[in-house]
Structure formats: structure tokens, C-alpha cells
Structure 1
Amino acid sequence: MAHIDLELLRGRIRSMTFERGTPEQIALWREDIAESRANLVIEDMMPTDEDDAMFALMLEEGVPPALMSSIILDLYKSGTGQLAA
């Protein structure tokens, strides 16, 4: 994955309309993501520090895991690794 401008990403997420998670939901999602990350490590697909920071930011903003991949796809231009304008 290319360099991630976390503050730009945070701004984009904050401008989006979706139902944010409750603190209880976010705690459960955090556990699920930690488990998924551990599985990636087992499969020798080590997430980068930037990947970890991006998912942490999304959890901080209450993004449900089901929307995370859609948000990433919508925010990044295909093939460039840059946030879409």
C-alpha cells in the first residue's frame, strides 16, 4: 500500500454520512481486527505500520468494519495510491 495521509483520510471520513459505532461496538471491532491482523501475520502477510495506523484511525472515527474496505476503495484512485480529489 502507498503512503497514507492520515489527516486527509480523517477529514474525508468525518465528512461522510454513515452510522458510527458505539464505544462498545468499537471495542468488539478492535478485537476482531486484532484477530484478523494476527491471521495475516500467520499467513506471512505482515501489515505495515501505516496499515495499522489507518485501521486504528478508522476505529477512532467509529467506522464499521463492513465499510472500511469500501471507504478505502472510494478514497483511493485506482492504481495511484493517492487519495482521490
Structure 2
Amino acid sequence: MGNVDLTEMRRQIRSMTFERGTPDQIALWREDLAEARANLEIEGLAPTADDDEMFAMMLDEGVPPSLMPTLILQLYQQ
């Protein structure tokens, strides 16, 4: 995914309006993300450390997984 400025990405995400997840939802999303990552590793497609940091940051900010691809595209197109 290339070098990602997580500080800037976090700032932009915080300024966006969307329905953030509850602590319980975020806990479930973290489990789902860990399972998905394990499946990718099995298939030889392990995410990079930068990818892991970006998705962890997005979960910290309460971004629903279904919204992550859209936000990533928006942030990279700016």
C-alpha cells in the first residue's frame, strides 16, 4: 500500500462524519480483522506492518470495516 502518513490519515478520519462503532462493535471487528489476517497469511498474502497499523488506527477511530475501503480510496485520491 506504500508509505502511509497515519497521523494525517487519523486527522482526516476524525474530521469526517459517519457513524462510528461502539466499543463492543469495535471489539468484534478486531476479532474479525485478526481472523481475516490469519486467512491471508495462510494464502501467502500477509498484509504489511503499514497495512496492519492503518487498519488498527481505523478501528481505534471507530471506522466500520464496511466503510474502510471507501475511506481509503477517498484519502488516497486527495
- Secondary structure, in 3 states, of the residue corresponding to 1:76? helix
Aligned to 1:34: 34
TM-score normalized with structure 1 length:
0.89
1:54 matched to 2:51: no
Deviation at 1:46, TM superposition (A): 1.2
Matched, 1:6 2:6: yes
Write out the 4+ residue segments of structure 1 that deviate beyond 4 Å after TM superposition: none
Aligned to 1:23: 23
TM-score by length of 2: 0.97
Deviation string 1:13-60 (CA, Å, 9 cap, x unpaired) is 000000000000000000000000001101100111000000000000
Larger helix proportion of the pair: 2
Aligned residues: 78
Aligned residue in 2 for 1:80: none
Q: Identify unmatched segments of 5+ residues in structure 1.
A: 78-83
Tell me, in whole angstroms, the C-alpha distance in 2 between the residues paired with 1:29 and 1:17.
Answer: 20
- Structure 2 stretches of 5 or more lacking a match? none
